[in-house]
Amino acid sequence: MMCSAHCFFRSPLFRLVFGLSLTAVLCAGAAAGRESERGRVLEKCQELFGAPVDRKPLLFEVSPDYVLRLRFVSGVLVELAVEPKYFYQEVRPEWKEPAVQLSLLPEHYERLLKQLAELKPLGELREAGQVGVVTGGRARFTDAYADGVLERRVWSEDGESAGIPPRIYSFRILHFYDLQGKVAEKRNLDARFFPRLTRVRIRKAWYLVSEEEAARLALRQKAKLRAAGPVD
């Protein structure tokens, strides 16, 4: 009997059964971790901002004119965007575009950054974008962080020559998260606009990755990577 049991534990069948069981346990644990992140983030959001004002998309009110939008992928928080309410007039017709230029007060912007870091930290700032991409009277600046990217949209007519920071129109945080796929294309970026970042295409979507991550990725090869996006 002992020999039979001993032989079974050494057999390919035991290794197969044990391997499948271990894989199932690990996958279940990872899924539970992702769902616990979503639950923790939503609980903290309600503590900071109250109940959601809409669920599709998932929106929280952060001021009379602005909302916070959250996006999850498989239970992982990947995007947080603070945007004017009128962006969502299709789902909330009462949120009409005002006649005045909207902006966040500097102290409110800084407070929101700290609050969003409580939901999921970005890590240390690696380098801030020096030049903004101007569209529609607003300039978009991209800052590289250890664990993601911060995009700031400011009114392009504003300058800092008088020591007054430009007015923040909106901003969003894109966290790096785990992706898997074939890297179809890589594009180096102008460091003045996108410091320490590279664009990569997986299937039809573009993502941002750190320069270090991009350096190890081979074209037309399947890979696991840490990326933020999709981006425009």
Q: Is residue 218 part of a domain?
A: no
Q: What is the pLDDT of residues 165-202, one digit of tens each?
A: 789 999 999 999 999 999 999 999 999 999 999 999 99
Q: Is residue 24 part of a domain?
A: no
Q: Is residue 153 part of a domain?
A: yes
Q: Is residue 203 part of a domain?
A: no
d(CA 149, CA 232): 14
Q: Is residue 182 part of a domain?
A: no
Q: Is residue 14 part of a domain?
A: no
Say if CB 42 and CB 118 are below 8 A apart.
no
- 24-33's contacts with Cβ under 8 Å and 24+ in sequence apart are 31/74, 31/75
Give the structural domain span for 83: 33-176
Structural domain count, the chain: 1
Q: What is the pLDDT of residues 83-95, one digit of tens each?
A: 999 999 999 999 9
State phi, psi for 159 to the nearest 5 degrees: -135, 165
Q: Is residue 16 part of a domain?
A: no
Tokens coding 209: 């990755």
State phi, psi for 4 to the nearest 5 degrees: -65, -45
Q: Is residue 144 part of a domain?
A: yes
Q: Report the half-sphere exposure of 137 (CA within 13 A, side-chain side).
A: 6
Q: What is the longest distance spanned by two Cα atoms in the chain?
A: 88
Q: What is the pLDDT of residues 103-160, one digit of tens each?
A: 999 999 999 999 999 999 999 999 999 999 999 889 999 999 999 999 999 998 765 5
